[in-house]
A and B are shown apart, each in its own frame.
Chain A
C-alpha cells in the first residue's frame, strides 16, 4: 500500500475526529514543549555558569586558608609571606605570578551617590592575572603599593552609578568608608562573575587596604592568593609546588593541609557536573509528561480500533494484509505524536524565550539555549512515543479475524 496515500488517509481520519485528535496532540505538545524548554533552561544555565568560570582564565590557581574536606584545627591564615614564597621562581618554577587578595564590602560615595561595593586590596599582578582591560587611566603601580597610595581602579558599574558616565572619571575623587581615594583607572566591562558582577568593584593597593580599610587579626594576613601558572598545562605542577611550599611554611603534618588549592578546571568540572545533573533532572520531570502524552495516544488508538472494527474487517476482505492494517494504525499514531512534537518544539522555544525574558527583566541575564540536539532528541522521542504506544493498538487491529470484524456491530 502506498505510503503517501496512507499518510493522507491518516490525516483524513484525524480530521474526522478533530476534538479528539486535538486533545491527544495537546498531550504530546505539552510533553515535548516541557522537555525542550527544560533542556534549554538547563543548557542556558550551564552556558552562563561555565562561561563565567572560563572567564577567569584557564591557568589560574586559587589558594584559600582552611580545608573543605578534612577537619583541621587552628588553620594558619595565609600571609603576604606565603605569597612571596610562592612567587619565588626557584622553589616554584611553574608559577608565573602571585597576587594576594584581601576583600571587604564598603560604602563608596561620590557626588551624593552611595553604593555598597566589593573592595579588593591587591598588588599590580592582579590585573595581569585577571586579564583586565581599561577604558581609561592605568592600573595600580608598584609605587602605589609601596607608598600606601589612596589610589583606586573602579569597575564600569561603579562609574555608571556614581558618575553616570564612563569617560573622564579618572582624576575624580571617591570616598570609600569616608576616606578619599583618587581614581586612577576605569575597567572595561567583564559582565557577571562567579561571585557577583565584576563590574561593581573597586580595587585599591593591598597595603592601603590592610592599614586603612580591611583589618585582619594577623599581621599581613590575606584572604586568598591568586596564582598564575606558566600555562594551562603547568597547572597541576604549580598546584603541587604551592602545596609543598605551604606545608613547609605552615608546618602541617602530611595529609592534613590547612589550606585549599583550587584551579579553574576544578571549578569548571564541578559546575558542569552540577548543571548537568540539574538539566537531567528537569528534562526527566518534563519527560514524564511526554510519557503521559504517549499513554493518551495509546488510549485514543485503542478506542479508534474498537470503533473501526468493521472497517478493519472490510479492509481485510478487500485484500489488506496484516501488515497493511498495522502500518495504517502506526502511521496514524505516529502522525499524532509527530504533529504534537513539531508544535511542542515551537511551544518549548517560546517558553524558553519567556524564561530568558523573565531572567533578563530580573537582572540575571541568561540565554536559554535550544540546541539542535534537544530538538532532534524531542522529535525522535515523540515519534518513538507514537510508535511505541501505537504498536499495541495497531497490532490488535491487525490481528482481528476478518469474519469476526465484519460481524462486529
Chain B
C-alpha cells in the first residue's frame, strides 16, 4: 500500500439477505487506486459492479473488509460522518443525471455546497464549476430546458464543485448518443489531466474502458485484473 493511494480497499465482502438466501455480491475484493488514476470497472450485470461502486462511494458499508478513502477508515464511520465524506471527498455522476427538475442548473450545482455547511461564496463557486464544463451561459436554465449532454455537464459540474478526491461515474454516457457521449468522456478525462482528479468509471462500453489507464474486470463478486 503506497501512501499515495486514494482508495485502499482490502478483502471487501458484501452479503445481502434476500429472503432465506444469502447473496454474496462481493466475495473479497481488494483494490488500490492511486491519486490521479483513471480506472474503469467492467463486468456483466450481477457481477457486483454497482455494489462495489456504492461501497467505494460510501453510499453503503461493506459487510466485512477494510476500506480507507483518502486517509479515512470508512468502515468505522456513522451515518452522518459518511454523509460528510460523500460530500467532501466523492463526486457522483449517474447514468440518468439525477438533477432536481424544479431547480436551475446553478441551484443543482450549489446543492453539495449547501450540505457542506457555511460557505460564503457558494454562487461564485457553482458558477465557476458550470463555466468549467462549458455551461456558463445556461446557469438559470432548468434541467427540462437542457439537452441530455448539457444535463450531464450540469451533473459533472455538481460532482466537481466541492473539489472531491475522486469522481465516480456510473455509466455516464449510457443515456447519451455516441457523439455526445464522447464529448462527456473527453470532459471527464480533461478534468483528470488538468486537475488530477481520480476518476472511476463503471461502464459496459469497451471503447470507453479502452481510454482509461486501468480496467478492473469483476465477475461473481471477484476481480480478474488485467493491465
Contact = CB atoms under 8 A, between A and B. Distances in A.
Interface of A: 1-2, 5, 9, 12-13, 16, 310-311, 314-324, 401-403, 406
Contact of A320 (B83, B88, B92): B83
B59 A317 contact: yes
A322 B80 contact: yes
Best-buried of B102, B158, B162 by chain A (most CB within 10 Å): B102
Contacts, number: 60
Interface stretch (B38-46, B62-70, B111-119, B185-193): B111-119
B143 interface: no
Contact of A321 (B83, B111, B162): B83
Interface of B: 54, 57, 59-60, 79-80, 83-84, 86-88, 92, 94, 98, 100, 102-103, 111-112, 114-116, 158, 162
Contacts of B98: 310, 314, 406
Contacts of A317: 57, 59, 86, 92
B102 A13 contact: yes
A316 B102 contact: no
Contacts of A402: 59-60
Contacts of B116: 319
B130 to A, nearest CB: 16
A321 B59 contact: no
A406 B116 CA distance: 20
A321 B158 contact: no
B115 A318 contact: yes
B100 A311 contact: yes
A403 B14 CA distance: 14
A398 to B, nearest CB: 10
B227 to A, nearest CB: 31
A329 B100 CA distance: 16
A321 B84 contact: yes
Contacts of A9: 103
Contact of B111 (A13, A16, A315, A403): A315
B79 A321 contact: yes
Nearest to A401: B60
B87 A318 contact: yes
Contact of A318 (B60, B80, B158): B158
26 contacts: A1-B115, A12-B102, A12-B103, A311-B100, A315-B111, A315-B115, A316-B59, A317-B59, A317-B86, A318-B86, A318-B87, A318-B111, A319-B88, A319-B112, A319-B116, A320-B115, A321-B79, A321-B80, A321-B115, A322-B79, A323-B80, A401-B60, A402-B59, A403-B54, A406-B94, A406-B98
A315 B113 CA distance: 11
B59 A318 contact: no
* Interface core residue of B57, B79, B112 (most chain A CB under 10 Å): B79
Nearest to A8: B107
Given A1-B114, A406-B98, 12 more contacts: A314-B94, A314-B100, A316-B86, A317-B57, A317-B59, A318-B87, A318-B115, A319-B83, A319-B87, A321-B84, A402-B59, A403-B60
A178 B88 CA distance: 101
A2 B114 contact: yes
Contact of B83 (A310, A311, A316): A316
Closest 10 CB pairs of A and B: A319-B87, A319-B115, A321-B83, A314-B98, A318-B112, A321-B80, A402-B59, A403-B60, A319-B86, A320-B115
Contacts of A318: 86-87, 92, 111-112, 115, 158
Nearest to A405: B59
Contacts of B88: 319
A16 B103 CA distance: 11
Specify which of B60, B83, B100 lies most central, judged by the most chain A CB atoms within 10 Å of its CB: B83
Nearest to A311: B100
Contacts of A403: 54, 59-60
Nearest to A1: B114
A265 to B, nearest CB: 62
A316 B57 CA distance: 12
A229 B59 CA distance: 83
Contacts of A16: 102
B123 to A, nearest CB: 12
A335 to B, nearest CB: 15
A4 to B, nearest CB: 11
A324 B60 contact: no
A320 B92 CA distance: 13
A15 B158 CA distance: 24
Contacts of B86: 316-319
